[in-house]
Amino acid sequence: NMKSRGLKQVELFLSDGVVGMKTALARTYPKAHFQRRLVHVMRNICAKVQVDDREKIMNEFKQIHQQTSKKEAAAVLHEFYAKWNKAYSHVIKGLKEIEPDLLVFYNYPKQIRASIYSTNMIESFNNVIKRKAKPKAEFPTEQSLDVFIGIQAMSCNDCYFNRIHKGFGQVQDTLESYFD
């Protein structure tokens, strides 16, 4: 219902693997790009590989988002597939299915890529919501939950209103050119 509440245009959505999210977003905002949150992808990989292989696999997977171009990142990703497919074909199959959503952040200026693939701002806000909601135990209605989250978002906005997230100030003109 973001559109009905006034959100007119979106350039990029960051999401985890919520079933149906990408389809719903594409239907509502057909021009928007979709980036899979790499933190969640890495957690998913870790859950499906042997403990002895986790560190090595994660170090190699992290190389994907440390490249200078999308072309280089795709090459590293395909090397990752080739190396680990024999031992973890189910993991590689899953990654191939979401591959279009893994490297979208390379379409954006280098200065803000880390903000896109890491989603630290989003994770931080989610942690604030969890921490402040925990003492409440439960909310009497869905509307009371909406109000609570809205108040937390407004409070967060007040704290960070005049701050520009790392790298965004340097590319503000470029980002503004993405919108009508």
Domain segments of the chain: what residues?
A: 12-107, 118-176
pLDDT tens for each residue of the chain, 180 residues long: 778 888 888 889 888 778 788 888 889 999 999 999 888 899 999 999 999 999 999 999 999 989 999 999 999 999 999 999 999 999 999 999 999 999 999 999 998 888 777 666 677 788 888 888 888 778 889 898 889 888 988 888 787 767 777 788 888 888 888 876
pTM of the predicted protein model: 0.75
Full 3-state SS string of the chain = CCCCCCCCCCCEEEECCCCCHHHHHHHHCCCCEEEECHHHHHHHHHHHCCHHHHHHHHHHHHHHHHCCCHHHHHHHHHHHHHHHCCCCHHHHHHHHHHHHHCCHHHHCCHHHHHHHHHCHHHHHHHHHHHHHHHHHCCCCCHHHHHHHHHHHHHHHHHHHCCCCCCCCHHHHHHHHCCCC
